[in-house]
Amino acid sequence: MRKIIFVFMIFLLVFPSLSKEPFEKRVEKILDEITPGLIEIRRDIHANPELAFQEKRTSSIVANYLRKLGLEVREGIAGTGVLGILRGSKPGPVVGMRADMDALPITEEIGLPFASKVKVVIDGKETGVMHACGHDVHTTILLGVANVLSKLRNEISGSVLFVAQPAEEWGDGANEMLKAGVFKDIKPEVMFAFHVDDELKPGFVRYTLGYSGANCDGFHLIIKSQGCHGSAPHSCVDPIVVGSEVVLALQVMVSREISIHNNTVITVGSFHAGTAPNVIPQKAEMRAIVRSYGEEQRKILKEKVERVIKKICESAGADYELNYYFGTPSLYNHTELMKKILPTVERILGGKNFLVEGLPEMGGEDFSYFAREIPSVILGLGVCPPDVKSNSVHSPTFLVDERSIPIGVKVMTNIILDYLKKK
């Protein structure tokens, strides 16, 4: 018997890989060790939030952490963006993971011991700054995944890029990083990201096939008039009446001219005119959002909106100024890639029941700039604490259950490992 054990030990020394536990178990072991440190980092970032394109402190935390792990680090991409490159010991595909670092001008109201006390002045008004969209969690998970994978580097075939981007809330941080050449030397063939899901509990993940974010377009319109007495409306154009017609005609246009298969929302969220009941004002001003999916559809909508406004103003004899803009593009989750990774997510979460299929939404997410160039997938990570009923991102009471952090790290690490293995 002793002899057999001896021979087996020699065998393991000669073939060390056979002595190793499966990746999944080792990921868990490493995770147990690093989770307290990750929670500390998350609380530190949470207590010191920074607004879009001002993420100096956060980005240096990210860069220093990645550098300590032995990654190649590039800083200052589009201002505060960071790229960490982890090269496995063997050649293979390049995979990217993205996190966003910016916070919001919201005053935190929960009373956490690590609540943000940061204040800024915007338009002469003092307001707090808060990680009310969970980007502190995204950043922490990125660091956690980098940490775990750096410890498994000897067995990784391929490279992993860690992208920490500025200004997601402004909808263009990702675009700015691409413009600054974040991938000019090394480009991932696929990209992954999380966004916190404020409805799901920790341990649950939401996935959406196809579109999960809309084109965030819109317009600013000024309808002009000479202005006249309210009792003599025939003597000038009434920009309020013309504007009202525009608001309604746009809703009719959406319901009558757009196929039900092309999700479209137009909301005129701001409409200002006039100072007194007996004065027809010299202008009416409105701002609207126009949401849709796909490049083709946004162009069609622009033409239709321009036509509706032009025709209504012309028929009333009103001059106008229209500024129509294209904002963040819609976010398309690559279907094949999603199908490829879902079995991994299911296995790590412990079953199908922990996977929730999401419906397409008309919100914006600037991860779409990466997804437009590289097959990409974003997943919703459940972060809602069990005893909280309504928990909304972008609200001063948004709360994260920190148990979601190691879960996020575990899920993403395994997605990346499985992807690299299958290649």
Residues that bind Zn ion (CB under 5 A): 133
Give the β-pairing of 279-280 and 205-207: unpaired
**From the CB of 406, what's the least distance to Zn ion, in Å?**
20
Nearer CB in complex with Zn ion: 131/410: 131
The DSSP letter of residue 408 is H
Give the β-pairing of 205-207 and 376-382: antiparallel
What's the CA dihedral at 336, 339, 340, 346 to 10 degrees?
170
Nearer CB in complex with Zn ion: 412/420: 412
**From the CB of 292, what's the least distance to Zn ion, in Å?**
20
Contacts of 78 (CB under 8 A, 6+ apart): 165, 166, 173, 176, 177, 179, 180, 182
**From the CB of 199, what's the least distance to Zn ion, in Å?**
14
DSSP string computed for 63-97: HHHHHHTT-EEEEEETTTEEEEEEE-SEEEEEEEE
Nearer CB in complex with Zn ion: 168/418: 168
Exactly one of 100, 102, 176, 365 is catalytic; name it: 102
Whether 303 is catalytic is: no
DSSP string computed for 312-343: HHHHHT-EEEEEEE--SPPEEE-HHHHHHHHH
**From the CB of 373, what's the least distance to Zn ion, in Å?**
20
Nearer CB in complex with Zn ion: 109/296: 109
**From the CB of 398, what's the least distance to Zn ion, in Å?**
10
**From the CB of 23, what's the least distance to Zn ion, in Å?**
30
Exactly one of 50, 75, 108, 168 is catalytic; name it: 168
What's the CA dihedral at 166, 167, 168, 172 to 10 degrees?
-100
Nearest to 309 by CA among 210, 405, 218, 422: 218
One-letter amino acid at 371 equals: A
Nearer CB in complex with Zn ion: 170/324: 170
Other C-beta atoms closer than 10 Å to the C-beta of 75 total 18
In the complex, residue closest to Zn ion by CB: 133
Nearer CB in complex with Zn ion: 193/318: 193
Tell me the β-bridge partners of 157: 90
Give the β-pairing of 90-100 and 157-165: parallel
Whether 102 is catalytic is: yes
**From the CB of 141, what's the least distance to Zn ion, in Å?**
13
Query: Is residue 281 a contact partner of residue 225, using CB atoms and an 8 Å limit?
Result: yes
Contacts of 214 (CB under 8 A, 6+ apart): 263, 265, 291, 292, 293, 330, 331, 361, 362, 363, 364
Cα atoms in the 13 Å half-sphere on the side-chain side of 27? 22
Which residues are identified as catalytic?
A: 102, 168
